[in-house]
């Protein structure tokens, strides 16, 4: 090829005299804010940081751990500190299922949410025996996380009086 010689292209687009139609976005709803202490456990550091930030924004106190063993030690040091445990299933050293079982032995009333990208770790009876209140599949967006936490912590069996003691129904 030589400089200054070749093919010229002209691209013509039709003029548009109207505004393009945009797909209707879902209305933005306010996130459900709340209170309570949450123990959040996952071996993925970025997910832990992201979830902690969301939950704290919503008003919750969050203790975030990337080790199930460290999370268990923290829980055992003060079992009455937490109102909810959210744990990943697949982690090194101890699975979320095993962590839930150990926590459930100490605090049978503790609501536990088990998260995983895989299938359920056991039958409904097995998960209930380990204190698992809810099993959810990843990924978990901020709105869904807010809804789940709000639903569990606002349920009657998780209500507390003004002194932080559980109200039994």
Domains of the chain: 37-157 (3.40.50.2300)
Contact 153, 58 (CB under 8 A): no
How many residues does this entry show for the chain? Answer: 169
> Residues in the chain with pLDDT < 50?
27-29, 159-169
pLDDT on residue 68: 95
pLDDT on residue 126: 66
pLDDT on residue 165: 38
61-65 and 132-137 beta bridge pairing: unpaired
pLDDT on residue 64: 96
What residues pair up with 134 in beta bridges, in sequence order? 113
Distance of alpha carbon 53 from alpha carbon 44, whole angstroms: 14
Distance of alpha carbon 128 from alpha carbon 73, whole angstroms: 22
Spatial strand order of the sheet with 132-137 comes to 61-65, 37-41, 84-88, 112-116, 132-137
Q: What is the pLDDT of residues 96-145, one digit of tens each?
A: 889 999 999 999 999 999 988 766 555 566 666 677 888 888 888 888 89
Contact 87, 112 (CB under 8 A): yes
Examine residue 139 and say whether the peptide bond preceding it is cis (omega within 30 degrees of 0): yes
**CB neighbours of 70 closer than 8 A, spacing ≥ 6?**
none
Number of other CB atoms surrounding residue 52 within 10 Å: 16
Contact 43, 51 (CB under 8 A): no
pLDDT on residue 56: 94
């Amino acid at each position: 090829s030589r400089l200054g010689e070749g093919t010229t292209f002209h691209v013509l687009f039709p003029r548009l005299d109207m505004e393009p139609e945009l797909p209707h976005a879902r209305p933005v709803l306010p996130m459900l804010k709340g209170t309570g202490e949450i123990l959040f456990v996952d071996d993925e550091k970025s997910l832990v940081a992201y979830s902690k930030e969301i939950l704290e924004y919503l008003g919750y106190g969050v203790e975030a751990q990337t080790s199930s063993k460290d999370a268990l030690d923290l829980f055992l040091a003060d079992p009455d500190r937490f109102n909810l445990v959210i744990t990943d299933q697949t982690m090194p050293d101890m699975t979320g299922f095993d962590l839930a079982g150990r926590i459930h032995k100490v605090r049978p009333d503790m609501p536990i949410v088990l998260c995983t990208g895989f299938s359920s770790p056991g039958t409904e009876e097995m998960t209930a025996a380990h204190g698992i209140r809810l099993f959810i599949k990843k990924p978990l967006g901020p709105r869904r996380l807010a809804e789940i936490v709000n639903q569990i912590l606002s349920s009657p069996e998780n209500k507390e009086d003004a002194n932080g003691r559980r109200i039994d129904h």
